[in-house]
Amino acid sequence: MTAQSQPRIAVLLPCFNEAATIAATVEGFRAALPSAQVYVFDNNSSDRTREIAAAGGAIVRSERQQGKGHVVRRMFADVDADVYLMADGDLTYDPKSAQAMVDLLLAEQLDMVVGTRKHQEKDAYRGGHVLGNKLFTGILAGLFGRSFSDIFSGYRVFSRRFVKSFPVLSSGFEIETEISVHALELRMPVGEVETAYGARPEGSESKLSTYGDGWRILKTIGTLYRIERPVLFFGLIGAMLLIAALILSVPLILTYLDTGLVPRVPTAILITGMTIIAVLCFFAGLILDTVTRGRREVRRLAYLALPAPGAPIL
């Protein structure tokens, strides 16, 4: 992309049974970003999502592996553009915010802009989801040092270097968490734009399972923390084992100092085993930290191999 040329913008809409809303969603983003190509990636819909999207002017493609993470992996791999906007096909995100998000990404040469949801309709965002979002946002901030206002927002704009350097590993709705952690770990320049969030129209049903997907997201955060912060993860386990071993050893030490005997041999064996495992956890964390740093450097180099959004190529 040269300094004079316009960036190629791709709107990516992962869909599963969104026949009731996909036409209006495609129309909204085509109006908001007239120069963009709108892609609808259908994920085994049993209704007329594909036909309606194609009739609305979208480029329709398919992903057979079920789950939003699989769809995002396919979209990021197959679509070639300079700027990528990802949203849902359920008409809950406001297309009118799209231009402001793209402009912010290009003006400040950011790698991701998150559309933070502001809901006014009661049915748009259930109370349990609001609480869960705040809880997981706080957990992410505590584990990784910083976070976003809305880590679960599916409304995001990405640079090309983000998309083409992001190894998607998730399979379901935990993909937003993985995207957020990837940006935080590589310390990418990111931004946020507040956007309206509406309720699903009649005839459209949410595919999100509050408890099932919440548990998967929590596991994803734990897994990513184990992978990206092995010293702290395994060090915490080792510290807990060592403290427990010290507490159990106090009566034995006192008895030995008093009588010169060790009356509870099984307890002494247990303490020894816990201490050995604790030491192994500490060393495992140190070894894995070296591996993690190497992986992070490789990802960073892949990321830096592509130009920043809006930067002229000389």
Tell me the per-residue pLDDT of 220-264, one tens digit each, with 9 for 90 and over.
778 878 888 899 899 999 999 999 999 999 988 888 888 877 778
**Same domain, residue pair 211 and 152:** yes
Residue 312 lies in a domain: no
What is the rounded average pLDDT of the residues 68-90? 95
Domain boundary among 212, 228, 244: 228
pLDDT value for 263: 77
Q: Which residues pair with 308 in a beta bridge?
A: none
**Same domain, residue pair 234 and 195:** no
> Which strand (E) or helix (H) includes residue 86?
strand 83-86
**Same domain, residue pair 175 and 248:** no
Please tell me the least confidently modeled range out of 79-83, 166-170, 196-200, 281-285.
196-200
- Please give the residue range of the domain that contains residue 286: 230-303
Confidence label for 3 from pLDDT (cuts 50, 70 and 90): very low
**Same domain, residue pair 269 and 122:** no
pLDDT value for 223: 80
80 or 211, which is more confident?
A: 80
Provide the whole-model pTM: 0.79
49 or 132, which is more confident?
A: 49
pLDDT value for 254: 85
**Same domain, residue pair 74 and 208:** yes
pLDDT value for 110: 95
Q: Are 289 and 230 in contact (CB under 8 A)?
A: yes
Residue 310 lies in a domain: no
Average pLDDT over the chain, rounded to whole?
86
Domain boundary among 162, 197, 228: 228
Please tell me the least confidently modeled range out of 85-89, 165-169, 197-201, 305-309.
197-201
139-197 residue pLDDT tens: 777 777 777 888 888 999 999 999 999 988 888 778 888 898 889 888 899 999 999 98
Tell me the CA distances in angstroms from 245 to 108, 139, 202, 227, 234, one per residue in order.
53, 29, 59, 27, 16
pLDDT at residue 105 tops 80: yes
Domain boundary among 183, 212, 228: 228
Q: Indicate the Cα dihedral angle 57, 61, 64, 68, nearest 10°.
A: -70
**Same domain, residue pair 246 and 222:** no
**Same domain, residue pair 152 and 241:** no
Structural domains in the chain (count): 2
CA dist 153 and 14 (Å) reads 14
Please provide residue 11's backbone torsions phi and psi, each rounded to the nearest 5 degrees. Answer: -95, 120
CA dist 17 and 14 (Å) reads 10
Confidence label for 135 from pLDDT (cuts 50, 70 and 90): confident
Confidence label for 307 from pLDDT (cuts 50, 70 and 90): confident
Residue 313 lies in a domain: no
